[in-house]
């Protein structure tokens, strides 16, 4: 019984982690059709922002929830202004440009911090469940991920900002006719996506540590999740995370961790073969 | 003095006339063409944590030898290559070192795959090669000298020691999924069963995996008496962090044959590493005059914040000195003469104590230690002087088969 519970919790944590590392990418891809190859580096920068501000004396929670998203959001704003803005609607070009940005970011961070893993121990300790235990911090990240998705849903569905954003994405010219400045909406969206990635990177940092090259560990999984999810930002990322996370966890438990990773990739390939538009291309089509 | 090349003679010009006339020759020859030496270690990428202290030791050893007048009166020109944790670059740089740089010797390689990438190349170009990282054993190649400790030298004593210390019968092994992890796990199985215990389960991980959640749950279900970690590289470091976060730190004790060889004791916090027991042929906490002198020089050269010296780093220092001593004894940097000199049972006493080249296996007879990590430092619990490379010796005899070139996968019967 305890074991079933702990396995279930692990499953939820794995799914939430996938959703968390994919969220920022999903926002940028889902709303702007921009494939942000620097997404892994945004996560990495979030980790460093939290780590550095915490080591400089900032409270850990402020470092994670304020310093990291603000820093990465600002970096996102600069990049949007200098690079992304010039390439709207040219998907291949944005891929190449953001790939270049990602290489540059890895280089700059390596020069500043050195190519080594730094980190802080996860706070909060653990909760015992029968004879087992699970880290409280891991459960907290799961909770934060849930709040993040709920918040996203609320903003998009229930607020004027969300309405304008959805409108500008659906029909740029019509929105412009109605007095919305699409450039502004796009910029805000990109910055929001970057800030969410920064928060995600900061949340993961105490569990895995940060290194300049750590983005590479996440980027493939984040891409697979977002592409498998399809066009709907929130439902897509969540449903793909749930599916791929379950496959990964199940195979890791029953077989080996190596096969867990393989199974995740194989499941994504199969899924895209059957549903080329991703999960939300067929199901939950009217969702966000 | 007859084996100087034509080019050297031309370059030294008039010095040629002075050849053979004692001190005058030495003075003049120090202006002679430098001896080319190559270092090929990852200074960046996922396994750079192992490479950086090795590069430091290599640099220090070469600078010392040069300050003392070089080898055979010629200075050493060291060129460091950074393969960036990329196996393809290892092969490329090994070729470059052998052909373009014309190195007389190569020091390098970290994970076994990088050694195996360079070995055939260096053998083909007849460039002697020193591999200084601890590894799974079994390399049998007359062109290669393996300075690091092998499982017979560490695990044979280490496994029963930790089983007794932690009162453990069942061991759960976590290992990196390549030949070091796989073969070391076999040795742990063997030594565990010889001592009345068993490996309950072994999980293998690709080098870039950094999520250990499912495995930690599995360990919780399996309830082993102890964990043996053979995890490798920066990504795997997060295991120690996640282990503490899951509240497992004080519940199941841990031993490792890889923790610390990349200075993990500096990168993790005391909460994460206190009490982990490890075994190597060198610890920077060794209180020998040679080690204290070495550490003083190392700190003076690279600063207080330099990467702490590891076994691989200390063995790199030994390797350079052994090679220089062999060249001096042979009176040449010619491959065959240097190898013959090294096979004469040459030894060097340095920071890691006395290391002697075993002529039959080209491995080291060395001292090994068991230590506990506490507050970023190692406290030596037990020492085992002059351990022979028994595992490799069981399969490799270069005196009988000098043309052997392979890495034996030692048949480990558990």
Residue A188 confidence (pLDDT) above 50: yes
pLDDT-derived band at B414, boundaries 50, 70, 90:
low
Considering just the CA atoms, what is the radius of gyration of chain A in Å?
19
- DSSP characters for A140-164? HHHHHHHHHHHHHHHHHHHSHHHHH
Question: Least CB-CB distance to A257: which of B214, B247, B267?
Answer: B214
Q: Is B180 in contact with B151 (CB distance < 8 Å)?
A: no
Beta strand pairing call for B377-387 and B76-81: unpaired
> What distance in Å separates the CA atoms of residue A121 and residue A111, rounded to the nearest whole number?
24
ipTM field? 0.72
Could you read off the pLDDT of B102-124 as tens digits, one per residue?
999 999 999 888 999 999 999 99
Terminal-to-terminal C-alpha distance of chain B: 54
Region B143-167 average pLDDT = 91
Question: Least CB-CB distance to A257: which of B43, B44, B203?
Answer: B203
> What distance in Å separates the CA atoms of residue A102 and residue B186, rounded to the nearest whole number?
41
Asked if B271 has any chain A CB less than 8 Å from its own CB, the reply is yes
Asked if B383 has any chain A CB less than 8 Å from its own CB, the reply is no
Residue in the structure block whose two tokens are 């939290």: A50
Which chain A residues touch B221 with a CB distance below 8 Å? 3, 6, 132
CB atoms A207 and B245 under 8 Å: yes
> What distance in Å separates the CA atoms of residue A60 and residue A62, rounded to the nearest whole number?
5
Which chain A residues touch B252 with a CB distance below 8 Å? none
Q: What is the pLDDT of residue B3?
A: 53
CA nearest B264: which of B302, B234, B292, B287?
B234
Average pLDDT over chain A reads 85
Residue A45 confidence (pLDDT) above 90: yes
Distances (CA, A) of B372 to A16, A142, B204, B260: 37, 35, 25, 11
CA nearest B170: which of B128, B199, B203?
B199
| Element housing A44 (H / E) | helix A39-55
pLDDT-derived band at B327, boundaries 50, 70, 90:
very high
Region A97-118 average pLDDT = 83
Portion of chain B with pLDDT greater than 70, in percent: 91
Could you read off the pLDDT of B248-304 as tens digits, one per residue?
888 899 999 888 887 788 778 888 888 899 999 998 888 899 999 999 999 999 988
CB atoms A253 and B211 under 8 Å: no
* Of A167 and B154, the one with more pLDDT: B154
Which chain A residues touch B215 with a CB distance below 8 Å? 252, 257
pTM value is: 0.76
Q: Where are the beta strands (DSSP E) in B276-376?
A: 277-280, 347-350, 353-358, 363-374
Residue A202 confidence (pLDDT) above 80: yes
Rounded (10°) angle between helices B311-330 and B335-342: 110
Region B64-88 average pLDDT = 90
Q: What is the pLDDT of residue A116?
A: 66
CB atoms B214 and A3 under 8 Å: no
Could you read off the pLDDT of A220-229 as tens digits, one per residue?
888 889 888 8
* Of B296 and A184, the one with more pLDDT: B296
Residue A39 confidence (pLDDT) above 80: yes
Residue A115 confidence (pLDDT) above 80: no
CB atoms A119 and B241 under 8 Å: yes
Q: What is the pLDDT of residue A122?
A: 72
Which chain B residues touch A216 with a CB distance below 8 Å? 208
Q: Where are the beta strands (DSSP E) in B7-143?
A: 35-40, 76-81, 105-108, 129-131
Residue B24 confidence (pLDDT) above 60: no
Could you read off the pLDDT of B388-400 as tens digits, one per residue?
988 888 888 888 8
Region B227-231 average pLDDT = 92
Coil, helix or strand at residue B57: helix
Chains A, B: CB pairs < 8 Å:
121
pLDDT-derived band at B56, boundaries 50, 70, 90:
very high
CB atoms B49 and A116 under 8 Å: yes
Q: Where are the beta strands (DSSP E) in B114-236?
A: 129-131, 144-146, 170-176, 198-205, 226-230
Q: What is the pLDDT of residue B412?
A: 67
Q: What is the pLDDT of residue B99?
A: 92
Q: Is B168 in contact with B195 (CB distance < 8 Å)?
A: no
Residue B307 confidence (pLDDT) above 90: no
* Tokens encoding A134: 């699970």
Asked if B245 has any chain A CB less than 8 Å from its own CB, the reply is yes
Question: Least CB-CB distance to B247: which of A110, A133, A249?
Answer: A133
Which range is least confidently modeled, A57-66, A150-159, A177-186, B198-207? A177-186
Backbone phi, psi, residue B287, to 5°: -100, 60
CA angle B175, A40, A200 (to 5 degrees): 90
Region B92-102 average pLDDT = 93
Minimum distance, in Å, between the CA of residue A18 and any CA atom of chain B:
11
Coil, helix or strand at residue B355: strand
Residue in the structure block whose two tokens are 């200390």: B314
Coil, helix or strand at residue B361: coil
pLDDT-derived band at B19, boundaries 50, 70, 90:
very low
| Chain B residue closest in CA terms to A245 | B214
CA nearest B279: which of B256, B305, B300, B246?
B256
Rounded (10°) angle between helices A233-254 and A2-32: 140
Positive/negative CA dihedral, B271, B272, B277, B282:
negative
* Of B4 and A188, the one with more pLDDT: A188
Could you read off the pLDDT of A154-164 as tens digits, one per residue?
988 888 888 88
Which chain B residues touch A261 with a CB distance below 8 Å? 206, 209
Asked if B288 has any chain A CB less than 8 Å from its own CB, the reply is no
CB atoms A135 and B245 under 8 Å: yes
Question: What size, in residues, is chain A?
Answer: 288
Q: What is the pLDDT of residue B291?
A: 92
> What distance in Å separates the CA atoms of residue B189 and residue B159, rounded to the nearest whole number?
9
> What distance in Å separates the CA atoms of residue A56 and residue A178, rounded to the nearest whole number?
47
- Which positions ≥6 away from A250 have C-beta within 8 Å? A260, A263
> What distance in Å separates the CA atoms of residue B126 and residue B117, rounded to the nearest whole number?
15
Minimum distance, in Å, between the CA of residue B247 and any CA atom of chain A:
5
Chain A interface, Cβ < 8 Å to B = 3, 6-7, 10, 13-14, 17, 110, 115-122, 125-128, 131-135, 137-138, 206-209, 211, 213-214, 216-217, 248-249, 252-253, 256-258, 260-261
B-interface mutation test, from A128, A135, A139, A219, most B Cβ less than 10 A away: A135
Which residue(s) pair with A3 in the sheet? none
Instruction: Name the burial class of residue A110, with classes exposed (0-12), middle (13-18) and buried (19+) by CB atoms within 10 angstroms of its CB.
Output: middle
| Chain A residue closest in CA terms to B176 | A258
Residue B27 confidence (pLDDT) above 70: no
Average pLDDT over chain B reads 86
Residue B14 confidence (pLDDT) above 50: no
């Amino acid at each position: 019984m305890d074991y079933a519970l702990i396995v279930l919790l692990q499953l939820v944590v794995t799914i939430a982690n996938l959703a968390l590392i994919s969220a920022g990418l999903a926002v940028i891809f889902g709303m702007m059709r921009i494939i942000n190859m620097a997404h892994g580096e945004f996560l990495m920068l979030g980790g460093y922002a939290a780590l550095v501000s915490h080591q400089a004396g900032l409270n850990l929670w402020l470092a994670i929830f304020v310093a990291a998203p603000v820093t990465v959001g600002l970096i996102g704003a600069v990049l949007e202004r200098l690079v992304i803005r010039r390439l709207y609607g040219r998907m291949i070009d944005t891929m190449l440009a953001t790939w270049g940005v990602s290489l540059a970011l890895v280089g700059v961070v390596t020069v500043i911090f050195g190519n080594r893993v730094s980190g802080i121990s996860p706070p909060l300790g653990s909760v015992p469940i029968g004879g087992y235990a699970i880290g409280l911090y891991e459960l907290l990240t799961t909770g934060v991920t849930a709040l993040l998705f709920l918040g996203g849903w609320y903003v998009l569905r229930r607020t004027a900002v969300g309405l304008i954003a959805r409108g500008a994405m659906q029909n740029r010219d019509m929105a412009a006719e109605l007095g919305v400045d699409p450039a502004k909406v796009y910029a805000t969206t990109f910055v929001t996506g970057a800030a969410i990635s920064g928060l995600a990177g900061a949340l993961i940092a105490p569990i895995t540590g940060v290194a300049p090259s750590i983005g590479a560990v996440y980027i493939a999984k984040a891409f697979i999740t977002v592409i498998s999810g399809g066009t709907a930002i929130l439902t897509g990322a969540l449903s793909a995370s749930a599916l791929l996370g379950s496959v990964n966890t199940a195979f890791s438990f029953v077989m080996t961790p190596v096969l867990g990773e393989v199974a995740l990739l194989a499941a994504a390939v199969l899924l895209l073969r059957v549903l080329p538009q991703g999960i939300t291309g067929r199901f939950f089509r009217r969702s966000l | 003095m007859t084996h100087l090349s034509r080019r050297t003679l031309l370059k030294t010009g008039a010095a040629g006339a002075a050849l053979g006339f004692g001190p005058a020759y030495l003075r003049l020859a120090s202006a002679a063409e430098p001896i080319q030496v190559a270092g090929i270690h990852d200074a960046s990428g996922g396994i750079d944590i192992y490479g950086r202290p090795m590069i430091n030791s290599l640099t220090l050893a070469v600078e010392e030898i040069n300050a003392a007048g070089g080898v055979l009166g010629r200075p050493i020109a060291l060129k460091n290559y950074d393969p960036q944790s990329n196996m393809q670059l290892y092969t490329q740089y090994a070729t470059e070192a052998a052909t373009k740089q014309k190195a007389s010797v190569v020091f390098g390689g970290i994970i076994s795959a990088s050694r195996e990438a360079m070995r055939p190349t260096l053998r083909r170009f007849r460039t002697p090669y020193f591999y200084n990282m601890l590894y799974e054993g079994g390399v049998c190649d007359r062109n290669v000298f393996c300075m690091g400790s092998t499982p017979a030298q560490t695990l044979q004593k280490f496994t029963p020691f930790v089983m007794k210390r932690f009162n453990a019968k069942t061991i759960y092994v976590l290992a990196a999924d390549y030949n070091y992890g796989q073969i070391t796990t076999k040795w742990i199985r063997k030594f565990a069963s010889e001592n009345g215990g068993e490996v309950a389960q072994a999980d293998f991980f690709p080098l870039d995996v950094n999520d250990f959640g499912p495995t930690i749950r599995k360990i919780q279900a399996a309830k082993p008496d102890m964990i043996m970690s053979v995890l490798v590289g920066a990504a795997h470091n997060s295991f120690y962090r996640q282990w503490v976060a899951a509240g497992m730190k004080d519940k199941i004790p841990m031993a490792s044959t890889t923790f610390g060889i990349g200075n993990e004791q500096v990168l993790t916090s005391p909460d994460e590493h206190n009490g982990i027991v490890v075994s190597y042929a060198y610890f920077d906490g060794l209180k020998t005059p040679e080690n204290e002198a070495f550490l003083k020089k190392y700190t003076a050269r690279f600063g207080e914040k330099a990467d702490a010296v590891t076994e691989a780093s200390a063995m790199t220092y030994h390797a350079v000195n052994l090679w220089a001593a062999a060249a001096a004894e042979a009176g040449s940097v010619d491959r065959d003469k240097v190898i013959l000199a090294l096979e004469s049972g040459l030894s060097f006493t340095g920071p890691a104590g006395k290391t002697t080249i075993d002529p039959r296996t080209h491995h080291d007879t060395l001292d090994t230690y068991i230590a506990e990590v506490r507050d970023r430092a190692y406290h030596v619990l037990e020492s085992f002087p002059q351990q022979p490379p028994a595992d490799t010796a069981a399969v490799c005899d270069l005196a009988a088969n000098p043309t052997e070139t392979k890495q034996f996968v030692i048949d480990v019967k558990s």
